Structure formats: structure tokens, C-alpha cells
Structure 1
Amino acid sequence: MLKETFIKLIGNYTTDDWLAIQLWNEIEENYSNKKRHYHTLDHLENLLQHLFTIKPQIDNWDTILFSLYYHDIIYNPLKTTNEEKSAEFAENRMQLIVVPQITIENCVRQILATKKHLLSADNDTNIFIDADLSVLGQPWNVYANYFTQVRKEYSLYPDLIYKPGRKKVLQHFLQMERIFKTDVCFTMFELQAKENLQKELELLQ
């Protein structure tokens, strides 16, 4: 479903089938990098499935799809500019197929919003960042697999460095008044997410 949805999306803006395949291959290659364990094609697939379930609430489906495919296209655990570089990458590729500027700008905004996951005035942006965080509100076994994969991505760091950083991330979310900005995701995930985050935090002590 992931590839088919992307090819259909690109087909809304170009009839160049070869270009569409090249753009997909580029996405597949980046998300399949052997150093990735969580930010993979499986992550995109899970996001896509979740977004399909709430599609009627989304104002601009194409924008949110572009955000989905490109939001982690650049991912280096050693860098703090992944979102900015991913947004720049997305902008460049969308310009190649002459996507309207307003769509490009909205996509860039959505990708950058995944850096801090703050409440936005734009409903689609809130939907997207909630989808990006939906793993936090999954059953414990799914969540535990998620943070194990994240740890593997940061395997270059010893526990002495990783644990304090991870604790800071967990505490950041736990201190939020609401992790999930949309009512539907708040209802579906908030309680479980806070339980999961607190349990992981205790495991890091």
C-alpha cells in the first residue's frame, strides 16, 4: 500500500512514470538504510494506516501524504537538523513535479512541526504530528519494541549519555498538558501513552 499510494500521489502532478519510480526508489533507499531500526518503511506504513482511518478529518490529503513520505527522509541520530533537512529535501522534490507552492509550504510546516510537536493553528498539522506520535499510545509490547528500536538507532552512544537524553525526552512529553492535540487521538492514545512513557522512564532509573 505504501508504494502504490505514493505513485498515485505523484501521478496527480506529473505523467512521468519514470520520475515517479525514481522518487519512490529514493524514499525506499533512505528508509531502508541499515542503520535505521525505527524510522523505517514500517514506520511510514503504520502512519499511513492510521491516517487512512481518520481521512475524513483531513483537509488536504495530498499535503499530509507528502509530509508522511518525506518527514524522516533525512535521519542521522548524531544531528539535530533532521527535520529541517527533511523539509528542504521535500521542498526540492515537490518542486520537481510542480506541486503548488501553498502545498509545498504546508508540507514544510508539517515536517518542521515534528521537531517539537507543539499545538498548531492548522488542523492538518495537528493531525500529522499526532499520527507521528501514535506509537506512544500503543499497547505496551508495541511501545517496548519501539523504544528498543530507537535505542538501536542511538547505539553509538553509551548508556551514560543515552539514558539522560532519553529521560529528558520522556519527561518533556509527560509534562505536556496534552501529548495529542486532536480530540480523536487524545481519546485513543493519551492515557496509554502516559502510562507507557512513565513505565519506560522507571526502567531507565
Structure 2
Amino acid sequence: MPGLENDLRELLHRHEVRADRIDELWQEVVKAHSSPGRHYHTLQHLEDLHAQLAEVRSALQDPDAVLLAIAYHDFIYRVSRKDNEERSAEVMRERMLPLGLPRPMVERAAEHIRATQRHEASADPDTDLFTDADLSILGSSRERYKLYTQQVRREYRRYPDLLYKPGRRKVLAHFLAMPHIFKTAHFRDRFEEQARLDLDAELKGAF
């Protein structure tokens, strides 16, 4: 059983959620991330994020809240909308609160999810680790980064290059203008240098 699924099931079981309801919730996550329009924002992205955050689990104040955020942060993903993060956070709240999970944990998870809209520094150190992990793809190997750009382009295929490329360049320039792309020492040390190389290469049209 993949790591995310196993950990999410364990979390819900710990809070005495019925096994059949756990099955329903997991299948809902699977379905949401397996729709035809998704190429990067898939279950594999969730597993990658889960693996990145497993490395810093001991530094997390509330690993359970982060786990919920991993599972639901891209639950709603429509490239034409600007409220995907807020809607994803609401789905998570609507699923978890009726099950009796602690409200502070659920609300903290919702804040983690909302933070992925801008990936800005937060007063919550768990949020910073979570959003840094979400950006870790930017610091992957050149081949993996190239594949990522292709996957994202396919998700935006409804938009012609005339519209897509200027918007993409704006995003790349925004990240490169930051003093630091990654907010935490762990992710900065591991990914900052390569992320800047990857972003600069894409901005210059290397692929």
C-alpha cells in the first residue's frame, strides 16, 4: 500500500472512522486526482509530496494536519479558476469535521492548503515546510523538470501559446526575483540552486 494511503487510513482509523467510510474517502481522493485533464497534479504528485515531508516529519508540529493537507490540497483543480485552493480546503473541512476529527487540526490543514495559492512565508512553520515541499519539483533534475513543464502545459492545453507563454514567463520571473524560493533551510539547501538553474533555463527557452 502506498505511503500516503497507508498513513491517511491509519490517521482516520485512529480517530475511529468506520472502515467503509475510510475506503470511500480514499477512493474519492483517487478519483479526483485521476481525471483525464490531470497530468502533473495526480496521485504521483501527492506521493512525491508525502515522501518529501516524511524526511522532515520530526520537525512538524502537527504531522496529522500536514497529512490531511497533502491528500486534499489539489482535490479541486481547474486551470480556469483562481479559487482551487479555497475550494479544496473546503472539501477537506466538509469531509473531516463531521467525522469528529479535532477542529484545530482540520483548520490548520485548511490553512496549509490555502497557502499553496501563493507559497508565501507563513507564521506557521509547518505551512512553510508544506509549501516548500510543494515547490520541490522546481529543484528536480533537468530531465524531471522538463517533464514537469510538459505535464503542466498539457493541463493548460485549452490555452494557445499566445496566452500561455506570457503567463508562464511571468511565473518564472516571479520566482527568480525572490531572494529565496524556498523558505526553510531544509528545502533551500536541497533545492534552491537547482531550482534557479531550471527556472532560468525554461525562461530562456531551453525547452
Instruction: Report the TM-score when normalising by structure 1.
Output: 0.97
- Pick the aligned partner of 2:107 from 105, 113, 116: 105
CA–CA distance in structure 2, aligned partners of residues 123 and 15 of structure 1: 29
Q: Which residue of 1 aligns with 2:88?
A: 86
Cα contact 1:163–1:204 (8 A) shared by 2: no
Task: Tell me by how many angstroms 1:111 deviates.
Answer: 0.5
Q: Counterparts in 2 of 1:112-127, with a 5 A limit?
A: 112-127=114-129
CA–CA distance in structure 2, aligned partners of residues 103 and 151 of structure 1: 35
1:61-107 residue CA offsets vs partner (Å, 9 max, x unmatched): 10000000000000001111100100111111111211111111111
Q: Counterparts in 2 of 1:56-205, with a 5 A limit?
A: 56-203=58-205
CA–CA distance in structure 1, aligned partners of residues 112 and 17 of structure 2: 26
CA–CA distance in structure 2, aligned partners of residues 15 and 165 of structure 1: 43
Secondary structure at the counterpart of residue 124 of structure 1: helix
Distance 1:115-1:127 versus aligned 2 partners, 3 A rule? same
Instruction: Report the TM-score when normalising by structure 2.
Output: 0.96
Secondary structure at the counterpart of residue 203 of structure 1: coil
1:36-55 residue CA offsets vs partner (Å, 9 max, x unmatched): 00000000010111111111
Secondary structure at the counterpart of residue 80 of structure 1: coil
Cα contact 1:130–1:182 (8 A) shared by 2: yes
Cα contact 1:75–1:82 (8 A) shared by 2: yes
CA–CA distance in structure 2, aligned partners of residues 194 and 28 of structure 1: 32
* AA matched with 1:103: M
CA–CA distance in structure 2, aligned partners of residues 93 and 14 of structure 1: 14
Amino-acid identity (%): 41
Structure 1: any 5+ residue segments left out of the alignment? none
1:106-139 residue CA offsets vs partner (Å, 9 max, x unmatched): 1111001000010111110000000100000111
Misfit runs of 4+, over 2 Å: none
How large is the Cα RMSD of the aligned pairs?
Answer: 1.2
Task: Tell me by how many angstroms 1:14 deviates.
Answer: 2.3
Task: Tell me by how many angstroms 1:3 deviates.
Answer: 1.8
Task: Tell me by how many angstroms 1:204 deviates.
Answer: 7.6
